[in-house]
Amino acid sequence: MTVRWGLVGASTIGREWVIYAIRASGGCVAAVMSSSADRASAYASENSIDRYYTSITDLLSDDGVDAVYISTTNELHCGQAIAAANAGKHILCEKPLTLTLADAHAMIRAAHENRVVLATNHHLRGASVHMAMRDAVRDGRIGKPLSARVFHAGYLPIHLQGWRLDKPSAGGGAILDLTVHDVDTLRFVLGCDPVEVIAVSQFSGMTSEDMEDAVMGVIKFQNGMIAQFHDGFTTKYAQSGLEIHGTSGSLIGTDVMAQRPIGKVLLRDERGEQQLPTDDRNLYAATVGAFHRAIAGGGLPLASGEDGLWSLATALAVAQSARDGTAVKIETGL
């Protein structure tokens, strides 16, 4: 069965990545919804989408839509996801899932009650490099994992320098934009949940003053592991990466916190250094492909609603820690 998609939001991420990923995974982009008729019409025509709407009610009444991809600004995700679930549509929602834990729980509950799939677009789970790191950890190739370092500070491209920098009510700032991905990737690679965090945020002039444009911190995991992270919008020449250090080896991933499949992973241990085999699969197509299979009853999405709740809960704890200057326990309410 071809999954027919309705796009909720005439977004950049949809245009740059997800429309391609849907089509590459055998899905059909049937309709788009924007709050502006001009934007909806232009987006539909530029991206060869048949129908466009300016109201979510109209999009959700479209019998030719099986699933929605929600990529509006973050404060809108919750209401739109619950409406979609109540209309019986499956949901792939952008990260952060929403802005509060109560809203995230309401989204998960609505999907459960309406028996629809709710997934979070943590696309990094679709990366071959992270799958290789996860397999290496699971197979004991680095022994007992002790610590990790996430390098996820870069430069926010000019064309994205909008609501992320000046609209706290839309969930702007580096923590909700980037730290959520770090946490989800660490949970995926380590197979372990975070329990506590301590963080310091920075305002160096890119964002409006009530929001951070960078953050560093340390997350403690259930198994005692500690993970250091650096997220930011402001560093033009930084390189992304993820390192996992264990009792008998280290995994060194370079360029792996990226949208494009450009990273490499080295395993370093007493025998020396070897590059793990990886491929250049499209991260977003891997995510959409798994979502299609989940709808058809063939397994789980790569990142579920609950996974989105975990990354949100950790990001909110990071923000609180940076605000209060204290360590904060991570509570999901699950």
Mask: binding to ligand NDP, 228-267, rule CB under 6 A, as x and -?
Answer: -------------------------------x--------
User: Judged by CB, which is closer to ligand NDP: 160, or 226?
Assistant: 160
Query: Which residue blocks in 158-304 are alpha helix, DSSP H?
Result: 163-166, 174, 180-190, 283-295
User: Judged by CB, which is closer to ligand NDP: 48, or 326?
Assistant: 48
Among 9, 126, 241, 289, binds ligand NDP (CB under 6 A): 9
Residue 13 as a binder of ligand NDP (CB under 6 A): the answer is yes
Residue 94 as a binder of ligand NDP (CB under 6 A): the answer is yes
Residue 207 as a binder of ligand NDP (CB under 6 A): the answer is no
- Separation of first and last alpha carbons in the chain: 33
Q: Which stretch binds ligand NDP (CB under 6 A): 30-38, 195-203, 229-237, 310-318?
A: 30-38
Mask: binding to ligand NDP, 52-71, rule CB under 6 A, as x and -?
Answer: -------------------x
Q: 31 with 59: CB under 8 angstroms? A: yes
Q: How far is the CB of 114 from ligand NDP (least distance, A)?
A: 22
Q: 161 with 234: CB under 8 angstroms? A: no
Q: How far is the CB of 334 from ligand NDP (least distance, A)?
A: 22
Q: 289 with 160: CB under 8 angstroms? A: no
194 three-class SS: strand
168 three-class SS: helix
Cα–Cα distance between 309 and 325 in angstroms, integer? 23
Q: How far is the CB of 96 from ligand NDP (least distance, A)?
A: 7
Residues in Cβ contact with 102 at an 8 Å cutoff, skipping those fewer than 6 apart: none
Residue 121 as a binder of ligand NDP (CB under 6 A): the answer is yes
How many residues form the binding site for ligand NDP (CB under 6 A)? 22
Cα–Cα distance between 48 and 54 in angstroms, integer? 17
At 108, which helix (H) or strand (E)? helix 101-113
Mask: binding to ligand NDP, 145-174, rule CB under 6 A, as x and -?
Answer: ---------------x-xx-----------
Residue 130 as a binder of ligand NDP (CB under 6 A): the answer is no
User: Judged by CB, which is closer to ligand NDP: 11, or 185?
Assistant: 11
Among 20, 28, 39, 203, binds ligand NDP (CB under 6 A): 39
Residues in Cβ contact with 122 at an 8 Å cutoff, skipping those fewer than 6 apart: 95, 180, 181, 184, 185, 188, 287, 302, 303, 307, 308, 311
User: Judged by CB, which is closer to ligand NDP: 30, or 252?
Assistant: 30
| Side-chain half-sphere CA neighbours of 112 within 13 A | 9
The structure tokens 């951070």 sit at 212
Give the residues lining the site for ligand NDP (CB under 6 A). 9-13, 34-36, 39, 71-74, 94-95, 121, 123, 160, 162-163, 177, 259
